[in-house]
Amino acid sequence: MMDEHAVDATPEDERSAYEKAADDEEVDPRCIPQTLDETPPIGDEIEYPDYPDEDHDVWRILVQRQMEQLPGRACEAYLKGQDVLQIEADRVPSLANLSRRLNDATGWEVAKVPGLIHEKNFFELLSDRIFPSTNYVRGRDEIDYTPAPDCFHDMFGHMPMLTQPDFADFYQLFGQAALNAEGADRPRLERFHWFTVEFGLIRENGENRIFGAGIVSSNDEVTHALSDEVTVHPFDPAHITEQDYDVWHLQEELFLLDSFEQLVDGFRAWATSRNLLS
Ligand SMILES: [Fe+2]
> How far is the centre of ligand 1, averaged over its atoms, from the C-alpha of 193 (Å)?
9
Alpha-carbon span 58 to 142, nearest angstrom: 10
The answer to whether 13 touches 187, Cβ cutoff 8 Å, is yes
Alpha-carbon span 181 to 189, nearest angstrom: 8
Q: What is residue 233's three-state secondary structure? A: strand
pLDDT (tens, 9 = 90+) of the chain, 278 residues, equals: 333 343 345 666 666 665 665 566 677 778 888 899 899 999 999 999 999 999 999 999 999 999 999 999 999 999 999 999 999 999 999 999 999 999 999 999 999 999 889 999 999 999 999 999 999 999 999 999 887 889 999 999 999 999 999 999 999 999 999 999 999 999 999 999 999 999 999 999 999 999 999 999 999 999 999 999 999 999 999 999 999 998 888 999 999 999 999 999 999 999 999 999 98
> How far is the centre of ligand 1, averaged over its atoms, from the C-alpha of 99 (Å)?
17
The distance from CA 138 to its chain's CA centroid, rounded to whole angstroms, is: 17
> How far is the centre of ligand 1, averaged over its atoms, from the C-alpha of 278 (Å)?
27
Closest CA to 46 of 131, 140, 146: 131
Pairing of strands 207-210, 201-204: antiparallel
> How far is the centre of ligand 1, averaged over its atoms, from the C-alpha of 244 (Å)?
17
> How far is the centre of ligand 1, averaged over its atoms, from the C-alpha of 217 (Å)?
9
Alpha-carbon span 218 to 215, nearest angstrom: 5
* DSSP symbol at 227: S
> How far is the centre of ligand 1, averaged over its atoms, from the C-alpha of 206 (Å)?
27
> How far is the centre of ligand 1, averaged over its atoms, from the C-alpha of 6 (Å)?
32
User: φ, ψ for residue 239 (rounded to 5)?
Assistant: -75, -50
* DSSP symbol at 106: H
